[in-house]
């Protein structure tokens, strides 16, 4: 595990570095507080730190305050090294953001025990962050396909539309429906239907760019948000999606199954933030309905913009 030692005394710094290396730490050293704060603020920087109280440019308490002021999920466990003995000084250091303190000169056994405590705290912190992210994911993603759920994809669409309004760019939508999905369930069974939903989801993700968004809109419907895609590019992109699904049958536990999509497509430009997105979605849905009525496995583009809604 990486650990930072910040101390302007070269002898003390060298002794501490050797001790911690023997304990198995990957040691990074600095000799002033400004450097220490920068190292601890770097992405992937040490999350465990021993910081001398008295240092040039920025003292140990100042380093703690600066690190704690970051808007960052990666918690850093900081111990102040101090020769100060008064309780007021200790309280001052803890209030600045230090997690613990050690009185110099440090006893090796005590140092090792305090660092072990710090590592336990960081492990607990990581578990809490992991649990929080898992809860956040479950709250916004579909359990079967792991795509954004309806609420999640609509929230992303709102965000992309706000961005497009500021930057005067385009957002295009593909509302996709798996053709004859009820028949797939009836013939092969619902477990195969679930396999098809999962495999279509994975293939859709590979057919769009990393900054595009794919969500399960409901049942066998998917909503694809194509960021920065104008009407001319929409036709090419939509055809790539349609062909990418229909060109290669899907392998399932019951054998290969041919799958196709009907798609309703629309481009949104000059979006007015005072206008709801529902009219655009209704236009895409109406286009999807026409694609199904015309024989399925095809794309129908919304006939007119809906700026007047």
Which residues are designated catalytic? 220
Distances (CA, A) of 262 to 74, 195, 279: 45, 19, 20
Largest CA distance in the chain: 84
Cα 72–73–79 angle (5° rounding)? 85
What angle do helix axes 60-68 and 87-95 make, rounded to 10 degrees? 30
What is the Cα–Cα distance from 158 to 247, expressed in whole angstroms?
32
Using the structure block, give the residue that is written with the tokens 């007021």. 88
Neighbouring C-beta atoms of residue 8, cutoff 10 Å: 15
What is the Cα–Cα distance from 118 to 288, expressed in whole angstroms?
57
Which residue in 265, 248, 303 sits closest to 176, CA to CA?
A: 265
Contact 215, 223 (CB under 8 A): yes
Using the structure block, give the residue that is written with the tokens 């109406």. 286
What is the Cα–Cα distance from 19 to 25, expressed in whole angstroms?
9
């Amino acid at each position: 595990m990486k650990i930072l030692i910040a101390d302007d005394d070269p002898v003390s710094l060298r002794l501490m570095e050797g001790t911690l290396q023997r304990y198995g730490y990957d040691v990074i050293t600095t000799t002033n507080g400004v450097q220490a704060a920068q190292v601890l603020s770097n992405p992937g920087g040490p999350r465990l730190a021993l910081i001398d109280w008295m240092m040039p440019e920025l003292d140990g308490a100042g380093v703690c305050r600066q690190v704690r002021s970051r808007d960052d999920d990666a918690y850093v466990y900081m111990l102040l090294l101090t020769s100060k003995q008064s309780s007021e000084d200790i309280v001052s250091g803890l209030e600045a953001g230090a997690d613990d303190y050690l009185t110099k000169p440090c006893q090796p056994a005590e140092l090792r025990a305090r660092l072990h405590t710090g590592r336990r705290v960081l492990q607990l912190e990581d578990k809490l962050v992991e649990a929080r992210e898992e809860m956040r994911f479950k709250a916004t993603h579909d359990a079967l396909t792991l795509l954004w759920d309806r609420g999640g994809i609509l929230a992303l669409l709102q965000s992309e539309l706000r961005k497009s309004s500021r930057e005067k760019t385009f957002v295009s939508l593909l509302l996709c429906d798996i053709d004859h999905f009820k028949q797939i369930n009836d013939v092969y069974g619902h477990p195969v239907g679930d396999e098809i939903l999962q495999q279509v989801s994975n293939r859709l993700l590979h057919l769009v760019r990393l900054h595009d968004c794919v969500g399960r809109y409901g049942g066998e419907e998917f909503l694809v948000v194509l960021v920065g895609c104008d009407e001319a590019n929409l036709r090419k992109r939509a055809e790539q999606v349609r062909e990418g699904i229909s060109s290669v049958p899907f392998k399932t536990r019951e054998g290969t199954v041919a799958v196709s999509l009907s798609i309703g497509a629309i481009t949104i430009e000059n979006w007015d933030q005072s206008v709801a997105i529902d009219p655009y979605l209704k236009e895409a849905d109406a286009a999807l309905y026409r694609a199904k009525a015309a024989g399925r496995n095809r794309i129908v583009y919304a006939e007119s913009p809906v700026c007047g809604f």
